[in-house]
Structure 1
Amino acid sequence: MVFDFLKGPTGEKTLRTTKNQQRYFEDDSRIQGVYKDALVVYQVEKKQFCLIQLLRVDGVNMDSLSVHEQAGLNEDFGTFLSQNILYEPQITSLNSPITIQPFLDQWEKSVENYRKASNPNEALLQLKASYLVEYQKLQKTMETSKKQHYVTLSEKIVQLSLEGIEIAYESLRDKVRGVRSGLQGFMGKFDCQVTICTIQETRNIFHKYF
């Protein structure tokens, strides 16, 4: 795998600005490429390249917890931060809309299958269909969202070579494993999932919020 930025000076990013030279997307974007399951990003403020991965963490509804559980969660979170402070995790919280479209698709399929069944009960068929109509109305009017948290972990690419990128990747992978394990340790009791984001999801989140 070859990256265009490996051809330039190692001290800082080189921009192609002359009329006779082509301009590329990478010239105007922080995202420079992909290495395995991590993004290669140029940090303008630090003038350095790094690898980045995101962890997606489900939010917890604090209102549904007892005072004791809330205190315990805050204490566990403080412990997690102190144990992982050297990894410099950046935590971003977003409101993600909730959709019931997958449920609607399954329900519509169920109604259709029952309609095609031999000797269907007409009253039951009408009941299923009426529920489908009500769910479709709900989908159009609902404005429900959930809290989604993203933990950004990065590792500086010290040497701009394939070997240097691999070294940074191995270090980043250890960070991700450690932080994910730490989060699962205290978030798991609330049935919260800690997931490593795919490259596409990482790109989307990075473009939208970073």
Structure 2
Amino acid sequence: MLIRVLALTTAEQASMTRCWWQWIESMMAKDVGAVYEVLLRRHVHPLAKAGPSAGNFRGKVWYASLPEKVRLVSEQCGATANDTVLVFSDLDVVALRPYSALAQAVLPPEIDLAISGTLDGASWRGVNSGFYLLRLTRPVCQFLARWADRMSDEYRQGRKPEDMPLMRQLLRAAAADLRWTRISIGQVGENPVRVTNHSFAYHAIGTHTSAKKLARVGAVADKLGRRELRCGG
């Protein structure tokens, strides 16, 4: 199985990026049956800065990068073999178990897009655009193109583009041929209480600075008895 992992970074997420690489490399080393490609794109913005005060996931640079985050995935259409599994990951997603096994679990032949869930029993309302797996079928590529165009339009009009609300709107209006599902919160967890050694990933949401996100990761690492996941002090 060929898996291409996609992510976007800025200069302000330098510390988070180093940790994300650490988690991805650890996961890939354990996944001997799969072939991985990792595409990490850096969004360059004149206001971006590195250093102790950086790492804001809600500032101007972060909002400016969001349209490119969606475009990064959309432009894989036509440039990637259709049988490749793509994984998009925000930088605050900690890989816990092999993504090849996750793909087998959430992307059966009848599903082309699997998005991390935020709630039990929810539909399009309960998805998080910070982590998802997909195959590049025609309906998926059409969905990605609409999403990317809407994000770019929002930014050009001077608004703060939000990828998650727009994804939810488009899922609600999607045609029946978009075969998508939610990844259960047991498989990819956002609540540290629900994350176990059976989870494939932990998404450190709920705070907007790298330092606080890494503190949450550290708590999960201690809970799971996996100190190798600790990063950044």
TM normalised by structure 2 equals 0.24
- Higher relative helix content: 1
User: RCO (CA 8 Å, sep 6+): is it higher in 1 or 2?
Assistant: 1
- The structure with the larger Rg is 1
So what's the TM-score if we normalise by structure 1? 0.26
